[in-house]
Structure 1
Amino acid sequence: MILPVFALYGKHLQGYSPLWVGLAIGAYGLTQAILQIPMGMASDKFGRRKIIVIGLLVFAIGSAVAASSDSVIGVVIGRALQGAGAIASAILALAADLSRDEKRPKVMAIIGVSIGTSFAIAMVVGPILASHWGLSGLFWLTAALAIVGIGVVQLAVPKVVSHAPKGDTMPAPKRLGKMLKDPQLIRLDLGIFLLHFLLTSIFVVMPAMLVKAGLPSDRHWELYFPIVVIAFFGMVPMIIIAEKKHMSRQMVQIALVIMLAALGSAWFLKHWLWGLILALLLFFVAFNFLEATLPALIARIAPAGDKGSAMGIYSSSQFLGAFFGGSLAGAMAEYANKQGVLLMAAVLVLLWLWMSRGMRHPSNLKSVSLNADHIVGREQQLASGLSALPGVLEVNVMADESAIYLKVNTQEFDLAKARDLLAEAG
């Protein structure tokens, strides 16, 4: 909700400047990036529910600090505190704990859809509420929503008695280095860094460009609503083609070309409102596709048993992108010019397009985790037996976690046969 309105409704704050606007937008991402992995690991040691509640309390405190501040520096501090409530990995781990192996991918997909839906709703609701309540009203609302979230966790979420295999959800510090050496994973990590860099940098300058082109700030929601809806339906065919035709790399490149077209429209048609509308529409079609596609590729490419580590680096890259995008765009808008932000964004998209040449489509690949007791001393036997099953490409037996991780070809692999083998061995 803050993203599309801060540059406009923060002007009353002491010390307001484009640089501080960028820092306020991006500060949330910095603390998220720093604390995401540690908070996830803490949830493994102290309990998911406890860490989630603490994170929501910290977020609520940060919201209150931002809402009560008369200076932009106070808002930046509040935003940094909000980000310190970094509970995304703990929430995913809790969801994994609550779900069976075969249902876990659907659960994670539903969470992903809910995140995308909330983002779309917030883009519309934020400008409406800001026009009535101001910026502080939005921050108080986020504090209230955090408290509601605590109630949901305490009252509506079932008590967990089992734990999902750690490799599915939790990063392992010893294996993080391995993730940073995989060229396919690196491309995706840099991709999500650049995607959120672009998102935050664009919204440092775009709200003011819309006002200058003739759209009052209290009517921005009228623009965001149809754009969000049309962009959602616009990216669906791209996802279908990428999956059905095994053309992930080509569709990512098409999305980047669409994003270049969006930035070009904003640059050349900046004085024409319909030109900026076209730019935003194209931008969000590409953004929505990439936001949905990149994490799915990470999950499929990550080595067996290391999905949690791969996703941990991915999430930190995402939030770092938000921080640097807001900060650098704010500095450029203050010390150079706002149009330079668009030029910087276009150069980064071209860089991303160049990097994408080496992408591979992970055809029919899937990670499968199996809980398995009493496997100490039988690791090699189980690994050999599972490796011989049709469709099994990689086996990782983790005796200390009582878990076995597989990378499989979904067209050939039969989960029932793997379970039968484990039952016979047990």
Structure 2
Amino acid sequence: MRKLSGLLLASERRAITGLAGLYATRMLGLFMVLPVLALYADELVGATPLLVGVALGVYGLTQAVLQIPFGLLSDRLGRKPVIAAGLLLFVIGSVVAANADSIGGVILGRCLQGSGAVAAAIMALLADQTREQVRTAAMATIGLSIGVAFAVAMVLGPWLAATFGLSSVFWFTAMLAALGLVVLWKLVPPAPRRLRHRDVGIDRRQLNAILTRADLWRLDLSIFALHLVLMAIFVAVPFRLVEAGIEAERHGLTYLGIMALAFVGMVPLVVIAEKRQRMRGMSLTAIAAIGASLVGLTVFGGGWALFAWLLLFFVAFNLLEAMLPSMLSKLAPAGAKGTAMGVYSTSQFLGAFFGGVLGGFLAQQWGLAAVFAGSATLVGIWWLLMLGMPTVPHLSSEVVALDDDQHGDALDTLMTSFADVAGVEDVMVVPEERVAYLKVDRQRLDEDALARLIRSSRNRGG
């Protein structure tokens, strides 16, 4: 077994920087339309609240349908060509939406944007470019970049739309995707031999086991519901800001203040949930807070109360966005995190689609208040379903590289030896990847015994 340095290599730093930037700019382009489309839809022929909702969320449908095929194609054709094709589709979709004078054209453009479903391929390339012991930190960087992209989109989108018109939002996203192509080929190092990584990619043989686990599908339900509610309420939120006397060109500054305060409020709650192992209780509290904010927006949505309810919503939203992937990582079996995350991501995109459709339908049939009331009702059902969520074990994932000359009975013996170490809760050895996936309880882990096992195995291999 080889023990490599945990410090990043120069090639790893380049790969992480380039791919995190690529992922962030792509998500920025998808999110920027969220706070502006409903407000400026009267410029589009045939626009109705329902079709505006479809335009907001339809990218999620094509993302959900195509992300797994794009990931599988990247295994066969190579990561960079598939990612480049996805970015090109995103550019085409952005240009189509920018030139559209009807809501149908915008819907088509958003479909094409979402069809460039390269998230799985980007994560697989990042796994190809990084060693096992730094991969978790690399993935966390991607997660952080998504959060930053969302916050920036909420500020930048309203400013662009107010200054240059709705089409400028789509032209800007096209420029970002084109820049992403340059980053992909110039900054990201050449792709090494393509491998499958069970901590990143989907293994179809594991799907049934993942889909039938109640604790994991509750997390899939949670991310589905969270993004459903987010997409639904942005059919109505921009109009509530206008009713509160905030001009469209100042919406970006309003979102900036709310997002900044929400981030400050979220951080200590994440620390409490992680350090004191209260993730289940904190997640139930966050869901209840989202429900309360939606009730408030339904009944007391005017004046300063509007900002208070939006702040509460985004504190809870950001808290769940941070906690849910962490909970899934702790609950997923050893060697199955990639498959679990694939199902989770698909649920997120489907939630965005159905949220847009639901928000548009409710607004068209019964008005803005119905959007918040309907969303609050769904959140109440979500909270009740989450009551059955078990306590989340405080486990960490470890990936250990194996020697190439270890195989057969030696690997079986090694897996048993890993399982016998105190604090190692689950083990999967994957000979074709030359790695062992471990789930460990760090409070109970006998690190000395694990280190001796690693050294002993290396000496036998040598």
Q: When the two structures are superposed, what TM-score results if normalisation uses the length of structure 1?
A: 0.96
Structure 2: distance between partners of 1:76 and 1:187: 31
State whether residues 55 and 87 of structure 1, in contact with CA within 8 Å, keep that contact through their aligned partners in structure 2.
Answer: yes
What amino acid does structure 2 have at the position aligned with 1:285? V
Q: Is 1:407 equivalent to 2:442 in the alignment? A: no
- CA 1:211–1:320 in 2, change beyond 3 Å: closer, same or farther? same
- CA 1:424–1:195 in 2, change beyond 3 Å: closer, same or farther? same
The match for 1:357 is: 387
What amino acid does structure 2 have at the position aligned with 1:410? R
Q: Is 1:423 equivalent to 2:453 in the alignment? A: no
Q: Is 1:288 equivalent to 2:323 in the alignment? A: no
The match for 2:396 is: 366
Aligned residue pairs, count? 425
Q: How far does residue 421 in structure 1 lie from its aligned partner after superposition?
A: 4.3
Structural mapping, 1:229-244, within 5 Å:
229-244=260-275
What amino acid does structure 1 have at the position aligned with 2:432? D
The match for 1:313 is: 343
Q: Is 1:388 equivalent to 2:420 in the alignment? A: yes
Structure 2: distance between partners of 1:2 and 1:361: 38
Q: How far does residue 413 in structure 1 lie from its aligned partner after superposition?
A: 4.9
The match for 2:178 is: 147
1:25 is aligned, of 48, 56, 75, to 56
What SS class does the counterpart of residue 167 from structure 1 fall into? coil
The match for 2:165 is: 134
Q: How far does residue 268 in structure 1 lie from its aligned partner after superposition?
A: 1.6
Structure 2: distance between partners of 1:418 and 1:315: 36
The match for 2:230 is: 199
Q: How far does residue 245 in structure 1 lie from its aligned partner after superposition?
A: 1.1
Q: How far does residue 124 in structure 1 lie from its aligned partner after superposition?
A: 0.7
- CA 1:35–1:413 in 2, change beyond 3 Å: closer, same or farther? farther
2:129 is aligned, of 92, 98, 108, to 98
Worse-matched range after superposition: 155-164 or 317-326: 155-164
Structural mapping, 1:1-20, within 5 Å:
1-20=32-51
What amino acid does structure 1 have at the position aligned with 2:425? L
Structure 1: distance between partners of 2:284 and 2:430: 38
**1:365-405 deviation per Cα after TM superposition (whole angstroms, max 9, x unaligned):** 11222232244422422211221222211111222333322
Q: How far does residue 10 in structure 1 lie from its aligned partner after superposition?
A: 2.0
Structure 2: distance between partners of 1:6 and 1:247: 38
Q: When the two structures are superposed, what TM-score results if normalisation uses the length of structure 2?
A: 0.89
Q: Is 1:65 equivalent to 2:96 in the alignment? A: yes
Give the superposed CA RMSD.
1.5
What amino acid does structure 2 have at the position aligned with 1:174? R
What SS class does the counterpart of residue 309 from structure 1 fall into? helix
Q: How far does residue 44 in structure 1 lie from its aligned partner after superposition?
A: 1.9
Structure 2: distance between partners of 1:391 and 1:367: 12
What SS class does the counterpart of residue 429 from structure 2 fall into? strand
What SS class does the counterpart of residue 43 from structure 2 fall into? coil
Structure 2: distance between partners of 1:371 and 1:25: 43
State whether residues 96 and 163 of structure 1, in contact with CA within 8 Å, keep that contact through their aligned partners in structure 2.
Answer: no
Moved runs in structure 1, 4+ residues, more than 4 A? 162-165
What SS class does the counterpart of residue 396 from structure 1 fall into? strand
State whether residues 215 and 273 of structure 1, in contact with CA within 8 Å, keep that contact through their aligned partners in structure 2.
Answer: no
Q: How far does residue 51 in structure 1 lie from its aligned partner after superposition?
A: 1.3
Q: Is 1:89 equivalent to 2:120 in the alignment? A: yes
Structure 2: distance between partners of 1:413 and 1:4: 50
What SS class does the counterpart of residue 16 from structure 1 fall into? coil
2:291 is aligned, of 233, 247, 260, to 260
For structure 2, the residue ranges without an aligned partner over 5 or more in a row are 1-31
Structure 2: distance between partners of 1:193 and 1:235: 20
Q: How far does residue 187 in structure 1 lie from its aligned partner after superposition?
A: 0.6
The match for 2:23 is: none
Q: How far does residue 361 in structure 1 lie from its aligned partner after superposition?
A: 3.9
Q: How far does residue 178 in structure 1 lie from its aligned partner after superposition?
A: 0.9
The match for 2:280 is: 249
- CA 1:164–1:371 in 2, change beyond 3 Å: closer, same or farther? farther
Percent of pairs with identical residues: 46
- CA 1:43–1:380 in 2, change beyond 3 Å: closer, same or farther? same
1:179 is aligned, of 210, 214, 217, to 210
Structural mapping, 1:213-232, within 5 Å:
213-232=244-263
**1:111-155 deviation per Cα after TM superposition (whole angstroms, max 9, x unaligned):** 111110111011011101111111111101101100101111100
The match for 1:49 is: 80
**1:209-266 deviation per Cα after TM superposition (whole angstroms, max 9, x unaligned):** 2212322212111210110000001001110110111100111111112212211221
The match for 2:10 is: none
1:324 is aligned, of 349, 354, 374, to 354
Q: How far does residue 163 in structure 1 lie from its aligned partner after superposition?
A: 5.5
Structure 2: distance between partners of 1:71 and 1:421: 68
State whether residues 248 and 360 of structure 1, in contact with CA within 8 Å, keep that contact through their aligned partners in structure 2.
Answer: no
Structure 2: distance between partners of 1:50 and 1:390: 44
For structure 1, the residue ranges without an aligned partner over 5 or more in a row are none
Structure 1: distance between partners of 2:453 and 2:66: 37
State whether residues 386 and 421 of structure 1, in contact with CA within 8 Å, keep that contact through their aligned partners in structure 2.
Answer: no
Structure 2: distance between partners of 1:424 and 1:387: 20
- CA 1:154–1:416 in 2, change beyond 3 Å: closer, same or farther? farther
What amino acid does structure 2 have at the position aligned with 1:403? V
- CA 1:126–1:103 in 2, change beyond 3 Å: closer, same or farther? same
Q: How far does residue 311 in structure 1 lie from its aligned partner after superposition?
A: 0.4
Structure 1: distance between partners of 2:144 and 2:446: 27
